[in-house]
Amino acid sequence: MKPINSFRLSFLFILLSVCAVAQTAYEPSPENKKNREWFQDAKFGLFIHWGVYSVLGDGEWVMNNQEIPIKAYEKLPAFFNPTEYDPKAWVQMAKAAGMKYITITSKHHDGFAMWDSKVSDYNIVKKTPYGKDVLKMLADECHKEGIKLFFYHSQLDWHHPDYFPRGNTGGNWTGRPQHGDWYKYLDYMDAQLTELLTNYGDIAGIWFDGMWDKIDADWRLNTTYSLIHKLQPGALVGSNHHVAPFAGEDFQMFEKDLPGHNTSGFSPEQKVGDLPKETCETINYSWGFNLKDDGHKSRKQLIQYLVKAAGYGANFLLNIGPMPNGKIQSEHIEKLRQMGEWLTANGETIYGTRGGPLTARDWGVTTQKGNKVYVHILDWSDESLVIPSWGKKIKSARLYSDKSVVKFAESEFGITLKVPKAKMDDVDTIVELELK
């Protein structure tokens, strides 16, 4: 091995220092800070995985899982004709569910653009019989209805030749040449992002995914994130890279897990930081439409997920995968309706709150707004529950559902709450504590 001379060493040192400064210099704009507050108040969003893959009814990973070469996969858009797509109905459904924003796939790992991209012909307008820009239609409807819109954008690309060297997925079966220009790919990605942040009005943020495919590559994050913030300073940048946030990101996301948990195995090293948080989960087992997936989560599971996320100070981004005709499965519409019903009655204990004074417990979580703490009892069958005190005195305790008085006692052992069995709710018994 050649020895490194001192000039080279000092050059390397300067370069690293410059990179470090560039990485840490990000200061969110006032709009961005305001949007971070909005985001944390919003608490509940609709995640939508929709692309040409839905035609095959086998999830959004079908191209990789079935090792469909690009040449064959390129036939798929010709079958994508969502004549039943009704963005108005989608937005109304989200609103009725109590959701405040929508995050939709602009491009998934298959590389197909779901908008009228001028940068590449591999897009919905050019390649499908439908021929319409579904993102534009959704953006217009969202803006009309006061629902914020995020674009999910896959950094990983199984179609673009310049996504090279390849990562852990999208291997030789794609049929791409064994060469490519990585920085040309990043330019292409930035150009597509520019379209999304220029032609679709106010965009709440970009939800990146796929960096995990080659986490050590030079993703030029600083350039891409600065571009986004230059085009729309208020847009929130988040990335599902499963590690701690990088400079320039505005929120931290957790996939199929509450912050700090790793039941999915995605986040062994993901530290929970100080940025606003969001956790995403599927309504059944799949992200993209899956014909065979009948594992629909129950009303109770979904509501409890939302409540637990709020207890962790995180938003809940609940996913559906619309069918290729543009409709949403009736089971999912019904579940969302039920969540909306629950939120109409109990939303005050969720929206605008922050994670409560107690960290999550086996019995449930707490949320807090001003001098009110909401104790969400999710899994407890005894009439008495002792919770640790956190140094604040309690003025009153009431059952949120009917405002009836809840007996409580403060002692050296904590705060004992007494909720009569008849008043317990199988999904969430909420006790509202007013602090002195």
58 is a contact residue toward ligand FHN (CB under 6 A): no
For residues 234-257, b (16+ Cβ closer than 10 Å) or e, as one string? bbbbbbbbbeebbebbbbbbbbbb
The dihedral over CA atoms of 35, 198, 282, 81, expressed in degrees to the nearest 10, equals 150
Q: Which is nearer to ligand FHN, 112 or 400 (CB)?
A: 112
How many residues interact with ligand FHN (rule CB under 6 A)?
Answer: 7
Task: List the one residue from 123, 239, 240, 284 that touches ligand FHN (CB under 6 A).
Answer: 240
Considering only CA atoms, which of 12, 16, 49, 24 is closest in space to residue 286?
49
| Beta carbon of residue 240, minimum distance to ligand FHN (angstroms, whole number) | 5
Q: Which is nearer to ligand FHN, 124 or 280 (CB)?
A: 280
Please, which residues have CB within 8 angstroms of residue 286's CB and are 6 or more apart in sequence? 59, 293, 321
Residues 246-275 that bind ligand FHN (CB under 6 A): 255
| Beta carbon of residue 346, minimum distance to ligand FHN (angstroms, whole number) | 27
Task: List the one residue from 91, 237, 258, 280 that touches ligand FHN (CB under 6 A).
Answer: 280
| Beta carbon of residue 368, minimum distance to ligand FHN (angstroms, whole number) | 28
Contacts 24+ apart (CB under 8 A), 196-201: 196/106, 196/115, 196/135, 196/151, 196/153, 197/228, 197/231, 197/232, 197/235, 198/231, 199/136, 200/115, 200/135, 200/136, 200/139, 200/149, 200/151, 201/139, 201/140, 201/143
Phi, psi of 418 (to 5 degrees): -120, 110
Task: List the one residue from 61, 185, 246, 380 that touches ligand FHN (CB under 6 A).
Answer: 61
Q: Which is nearer to ligand FHN, 195 or 209 (CB)?
A: 209
Q: Which is nearer to ligand FHN, 280 or 307 (CB)?
A: 280
Task: List the one residue from 40, 51, 60, 429 that touches ligand FHN (CB under 6 A).
Answer: 60
DSSP label at residue 3: P
Residues 126-165 that bind ligand FHN (CB under 6 A): none
Beta bridge partners of 127: none
| Beta carbon of residue 281, minimum distance to ligand FHN (angstroms, whole number) | 9
| Beta carbon of residue 209, minimum distance to ligand FHN (angstroms, whole number) | 5
Task: List the one residue from 209, 250, 257, 432 that touches ligand FHN (CB under 6 A).
Answer: 209
Please, which residues have CB within 8 angstroms of residue 171's CB and are 6 or more apart in sequence? none
Rounded CA gap, 235 and 250, in Å? Answer: 9
DSSP label at residue 51: S
| Beta carbon of residue 364, minimum distance to ligand FHN (angstroms, whole number) | 26
Q: Which string of DSSP letters, residue by residue, matches 189-227?
A: HHHHHHHHHHSSS---EEEEE-GGGGTTS---HHHHHHH
| Beta carbon of residue 219, minimum distance to ligand FHN (angstroms, whole number) | 16
Rounded CA gap, 374 and 356, in Å? Answer: 8
Task: List the one residue from 50, 287, 312, 374 that touches ligand FHN (CB under 6 A).
Answer: 287
Residue whose pair of structure tokens reads 């001192």 in the numeric block: 6
| Beta carbon of residue 415, minimum distance to ligand FHN (angstroms, whole number) | 38
Q: Which is nearer to ligand FHN, 104 or 203 (CB)?
A: 104
Q: Which is nearer to ligand FHN, 286 or 346 (CB)?
A: 286
| Chain contacts with ligand FHN (rule: CB under 6 A) | 60-61, 209, 240, 255, 280, 287
